[in-house]
Amino acid sequence: MSRVHTVTLNPAIDQTVSLPHLAVGEVNRASAVRHDPGGKGVNVASVLADWGADVMAHGLLGRANAAPFEALFSRKSIADRMVRMPGETRTNVKILEEGGRTTDLNLPGFPAGASDLGPLADSLSAVAEGELVVISGSHPAGLPASASARLAALARERGARVLCDVSGEALVEVLAAPVLPDAIKPNRHELEGWAGRSLADRAELAEAARALVARGIALVVVSLGTEGALFCSAAGAVLARPVELSRGSTVGAGDAMVAGLASALVEGLDLGATAARATAFAAAKLRNPGPHLPGRDEVRALEARVERVAVADWIRAAGPMADEGERT
């Protein structure tokens, strides 16, 4: 398996606080708390390493509290190419209730500027032709909205394939660039933000995804939370969903899906197998707190049980679509 490079411009330490029920405006007593070095690209790297992939992590990292990230990279044999920045990496607070509902409080972190992209671009000189670069997550304050698009273009110039999981203005910039990524994974709300209109209608959502494929993006995946995800390519379209969902922490589940997509792209799987792999990664991650994957046999068992629905049948089905709202 060739190396996968992840890029995280805005990492975070995820503080997950567990409690029976969040009572807003009242004193709440937590039953447990855990801290995980994260941010979307770091989560992708962590899950891929659990799968056995050769991973190199790039991005920006606060020097003052880099130790948890360094320990994660060392423990999982992830090559560390993160550029150290003055100050601290931000903390994101995840309040997890017993029923599975999660409330996110994403705090600000170190500021960055366009000049900080230079050292990061230098770190991407390690990317070789044919390798995969995964760019995911938000931008820190001060970084231009075009940062992810510029890094994607740089990776493509080096002959790498690019998978982007970004939102907002960063997604607008990526989709307006002269050279498009090979794959993207927005959720429905993020795709609506780019399109400037509601995509609650299933047929309209599928058409929007197909239109992006027609523009030159080889794989478009729209995640829909507990409903699964819509996978579109030139080979067709399929709706994939897991047959079972754990009630564990959803922190990093979307990133686990991106990791599953990355592993499928590296292995050259077809559309149906890619949908099963990515969906199984997301479902498997729910069984573990933090961005960690269980053993391969467990993931393979889930992969074999993923339900794949023809898009025409899914469009005809009644009921509202679910959403995946996680964005760090």
> What is the SS3 string spanning the chain?
CCCEEEEECCCEEEEEEEECCCCCCCCCCCCEEEEEEECHHHHHHHHHHHHCCCEEEEEEEEHHHCHHHHHHHHHCCCEEEEEEECCCCEEEEEEEECCCCEEEEECCCCCCCHHHHHHHHHHHHHCCCCCEEEEECCCCCCCCCCHHHHHHHHHHHCCCEEEEECCHHHHHHHHHCCCCCCEECCEHHHHHHHHCCCCCCHHHHHHHHHHHHHHCCCEEEEECHHHCEEEEECCEEEEEECCCCCCCCCCCHHHHHHHHHHHHHHHCCCHHHHHHHHHHHHHHHCCCCCCCCCCHHHHHHHHHCCEEEEHHHHHHCCCCCCCCCCCC
Q: Which residues are catalytic?
A: 255
